[in-house]
Structure 1
């Protein structure tokens, strides 16, 4: 299955979390770039990098943000690279928000063990002597 199909299965309650994460790791996702960095939002102290399964999903997000038909710069990157290399290089807890403009097709990959490297997982922060957000 492709990533968007795994997301749909998970949202319908028939998905497999391991298969969903595996598909995300293998998928090339589109991440909008703004001012030389990855476009993201912050909710309750967690940074969420926006990622999209295709250009249509990215366009829906841009339109929802009031950008109309303006083109957005983006990069294509493997989900595994986002999780294993990009997130550990950033300051503070960071997760991935996929297709956030699609009410029935979005999925969040939070910064917890089993998704991001243990060194940056918020649920393991106390074991590292840190305060979790």
Structure 2
């Protein structure tokens, strides 16, 4: 099953969290590039966590652009595997970071928080010195 199917299964209470994370890691995600002088990947901070926006396809990214009332501009994005996003990009963030997938889809979004099993242990907020909090 692909990532959107696993997200739907989890949201319906029928999914397997380990399978969801596996599909997330294997999925090629579209991550919009941020405008402005700092550039980088588009993200937002909420609750002390930086959430990197990622989308499963161009249609999901288009719904995000529409929700922001920015569908009239061209959106540049990077295509990256979920595994690379959490294993290489999250550790470069200053502070805790996770991934928000398809955030404009009310029934199809999913957050992958900075916890053990999703991000590297060194970046997991639920571990202190490699031990569960």
Q: TM-score, normalised by structure 2?
A: 0.92
Task: Show the 5 A alignment for 1:37-76.
Answer: 37-76=40-79
Greater mean deviation of Cα atoms: 66-75 or 80-89: 66-75
2:128 is equivalent to residue 117 of structure 1: no
Query: Between Structure 1 and Structure 2, which shows a larger proportion of helix residues?
Result: 1
Task: Show the 5 A alignment for 1:65-104.
Answer: 65-104=68-107
- 2:34 is aligned to 34
Q: Find the aligned partners of 1:109 and 1:49 in 2 and give their Cα distance.
A: 10
Following superposition, the deviation at residue 69 of structure 1 comes to 2.9
Structure 1: which 5+ residue stretches go unaligned? none
Following superposition, the deviation at residue 105 of structure 1 comes to 0.1
Among candidates 104, 109, 112, match of residue 106 of structure 1: 109
- 1:22 is aligned to 22
Structure 2: which 5+ residue stretches go unaligned? none
Q: TM-score, normalised by structure 1?
A: 0.92
Q: Find the aligned partners of 2:95 and 2:8 in 1 and give their Cα distance.
A: 29
Instruction: State the aligned residue count.
Output: 128
- 2:2 is aligned to 2
CA-atom RMSD in angstroms? 1.3
Structure 1: 4+ residue segments shifted above 4 A? none
Residue by residue over 1:21-79, the C-alpha shift from the partner in whole angstroms, topping out at 9 and shown as x without a partner, is: 00000010000001331000110110000000000000000111110332210010000
